[in-house]
Structures are given as C-alpha cells and as structure tokens.
Amino acid sequence: MSFDLQQLVRTNIRQLKPYASARHEFEGEASVYLDANENSLGSPLQEAFNRYPDPLQWQLKFALAKIKGVPAENIFIGNGSDEVIDLALRIFCEPGRDNIIICPPTYGMYEVSAGINAVEVRKAGLTAGFQLNLSTIMNLVDAQTKIIFVCSPNNPTGNNMHREDIEWLLNNFNGILVVDEAYINFSRQKTCIQELTTYPSLIVMQTLSKAWGLAALRLGLCFASLGIIDLFNKVKPPYNINKASAALGLEALAQVSWVNEAIQQTVAARNSLASRLEQYAFVTKVFESEANFLLVQVTDANGLYHFLTGKGIIVRNRSREPGCENCLRITIGTPQENEILLAAFDNWQQAPPAQQ
C-alpha cells in the first residue's frame, strides 16, 4: 500500500494559494505596525486585544508539544474539534462525489459536518460489543472513500476500540484515518499519537473541552504529519483561535497536576456511580466506560428521561441510536450532583408505573 497525500487532496485545495498576512514575515524586527488597519490607540479593555493574534498559536503549541511529547510542528489547533472535523472534510472530500465512513453509534458531528459539506456518509455499525466491524467497513470502501472516523473511547458507548483494529485500518485503508480521542485522558488505553511517525495517513484529534475543563474556550487539537498540518493551516480561517482563548489555554496547560487530580476524581466517581446504578431493578445494564460518562440501559429510557428533566436533571437520551435501545448517557458530575441523580433514581424506583 503506498500512501499519496497529495493525490487524496481535493484539486482546488492542492492548488490553493493561502492568505498571507504580511506581519509574520517581520515579527520581532519591526516596531511600527501600520499594515493591518487595527486601532493603534488600543481598545476599551485593559489587556492588549487591538492587534491580530498569532495565526499559528506557537506559544500554545510549544506548551502542548511538551505535554504530549510531539513536535509543535505536528500540531494544529482548531476552534474546537468541530473545526478540525470540518476542515478535514473540506480538504479531502469533493462535495457530491467523495464519501466518508463512520461507525455508529458514535459522535454526531461527523455526519452533521459531512452533511453541511455535501459529503456522502457511509455507516459501518459497531458490533454488538461496540467494536469496529472491519469487514463491514472494508466492504463500504471504494475509490471515493477519503476518510474513516473512529472514536476511541467512543461517544456515546464509552468503550475503547481495540488497538489492533485501529492498526489494521491504518495498514489496510488507503485514505485518511481520523482517531477521535476526546476522552483519552479518562481511558486506560494509550493515545495513538506515537503512531504518527509510522502512519502518514493518521490524524489524531483531542480537545481541551473535556478533561482540561475548557469547553467554553473552543480549543480542539489535531496531531498529524507535517503534510497534513500544512493543509489544515492553508485552509483554516487565518485567525481561527482568538488571543483570549490562546492565552487562557496556555495558563491552563501550566497546571497539569490540577487536571490529573480531576481525572482521578472523575474516574473514581464514574466507577462508584456505575456500581451504584447497577443496584436498581430498572437498570438493565451499565456499560463499561473509559470516559467521563456512563451509558446506562434502563427499562423505560424515555419515561426516566422525562422524569429527570422534570426534576431539573438533564442527561442525554440516546435510545434512538443503533444498539442503544433504552439507553441514557450520563455525564459524571460533582459528588453532590451524582447524589442528586441517585436520589432521583430512588424516586423513579418508587414511582408507580405511568397511567396508560
């Protein structure tokens, strides 16, 4: 199998001459910047937000490089993972012609983003054990299949995909394999980042929205070969990450120990919540989770969902997803929130069956 990145890229993207800001050619050398029509007087705010930010967020990338053990040049930062997904589709998939493969039940944005980009979505459902169905996937692959999205740990099922299956796809699929590791910090499985040196077709996505607790800042991470990172930089909006987010992200990255502590607490709370939920007669299954949520199967998911909503407790009803009949996805809360949830479960247990 010979992987040819340029051949996978859409023709218009291959030929694209990206937007260039004159500024970064002179960074550090000049003292009078009259090139970008900014407000030279400043802004109403204390902090200096009047200048356009670094389009490549090098400071943030250097800090990430240290933590992740990967060169800063192999990192792209998106305005949330959602931007990374959208860019991947726009770089590789010709609208109305190319297709991608997803493995439901899985994260909804792959399909939404493909729909927006007029890219066909082919679905290779997970096995009964929520693992990749390699033969189904390969039966769907044709010359127009550009990307396979694999989510591990998977949302909403919470389990890791087998590492051997991911490697099998890397060795046998001649397009881009995106491995979405949004929940990797909660998992016992190691990240695929170290496979980047072996597989030029691999894109690993992570995010600062989950374990790092920065969902509001919109910092999605992408790790890939220099060639792929180059394409992302060419296609992204020039200033996709704003200065406030980059600065706050950098501040957070200096506090790894806070995050590690939060991960430990979350994992411990997840495991104890799982065993307590299993005690209820109406809970038919709590799926093993490697993430910061639990997929819980009950006898009447819609009824329980509305009961919880009525008590001001919002969970995610996933019962319409394939293989998730009567399943709710429940995020691990604070110790107090978890107790409130369990108290509501107690009440549901005692509630008389709804009148038909």
Ligand X SMILES: *Cc1c(COP(=O)(O)O)cnc(C)c1O
Question: Quick one: 83 or 195, whose CB is closer to ligand X?
Answer: 83
Q: At its nearest, how many Å lie between ligand X and the CB of residue 155?
A: 4
Question: Quick one: 82 or 120, whose CB is closer to ligand X?
Answer: 82
Q: At its nearest, how many Å lie between ligand X and the CB of residue 132?
A: 15
Site string for ligand X, 241-270 (x = CB under 6 A): ------------------------------
Q: How far is Cα 77 from Cα 137, in angstroms, rounded to an integer?
A: 29
Of 209, 266, 292, 297, the residue at the interface with ligand X (CB under 6 A) is: 209
Of 180, 195, 290, 321, the residue at the interface with ligand X (CB under 6 A) is: 180
Question: Quick one: 70 or 283, whose CB is closer to ligand X?
Answer: 70
Q: How far is Cα 139 from Cα 270, in angstroms, rounded to an integer?
A: 37
Question: Quick one: 102 or 141, whose CB is closer to ligand X?
Answer: 102
Let me know: does 191 contact 161? Beta carbons within 8 Å.
Answer: no
Of 80, 105, 175, 249, the residue at the interface with ligand X (CB under 6 A) is: 80
Cα–chain-centroid distance for residue 257?
A: 22
Contacts with ligand X by CB under 6 A: the residue count is 13
What is the three-class DSSP state of 140?
helix
Of 73, 82, 120, 230, the residue at the interface with ligand X (CB under 6 A) is: 82
Let me know: does 225 contact 200? Beta carbons within 8 Å.
Answer: yes
Q: How far is Cα 273 from Cα 103, in angstroms, rounded to an integer?
A: 28
- End-to-end CA distance of the chain: give it in Å, rounded: 60
Q: How far is Cα 44 from Cα 42, in angstroms, rounded to an integer?
A: 7
Looking at residue 143, its amino acid is A
- The interface with ligand X within residues 19-58 (CB under 6 A) comprises none
Question: Quick one: 93 or 217, whose CB is closer to ligand X?
Answer: 217
81 touches ligand X by CB under 6 A: yes
Q: At its nearest, how many Å lie between ligand X and the CB of residue 123?
A: 16
111 touches ligand X by CB under 6 A: no
Q: At its nearest, how many Å lie between ligand X and the CB of residue 66?
A: 21
Q: How far is Cα 112 from Cα 1, in angstroms, rounded to an integer?
A: 31
215 touches ligand X by CB under 6 A: yes
Span from 42-50, 63-71, 79-87, 186-194 in contact with ligand X (CB under 6 A): 79-87
Span from 32-40, 204-212, 331-339, 343-351 in contact with ligand X (CB under 6 A): 204-212
Helices marked H in the chain: 5-8, 11-14, 58-68, 81-92, 109-116, 134-140, 163-172, 226-235, 243-253, 256-277, 301-310, 335-350
- In whole angstroms, how large is the CA radius of gyration of the chain? 22
Question: Quick one: 217 or 344, whose CB is closer to ligand X?
Answer: 217
Question: Quick one: 201 or 206, whose CB is closer to ligand X?
Answer: 206
Residues 6+ apart with CB under 8 A from 193: 68, 69, 70, 204, 223
155 touches ligand X by CB under 6 A: yes
CA distances in angstroms from 88 to 5, 26, 82, 153, 261, listed in the order given: 13, 30, 10, 20, 33
Question: Quick one: 126 or 283, whose CB is closer to ligand X?
Answer: 126
Ranked by CB distance to ligand X, the top (closest) residue is 80
Q: Torsions phi, psi of 128, nearest 5?
A: -60, -30
Question: Quick one: 55 or 156, whose CB is closer to ligand X?
Answer: 156
What does the binding site for ligand X look like in residue numbers (CB under 6 A)? 80-82, 107, 151, 155, 180, 182, 207, 209-210, 215, 220
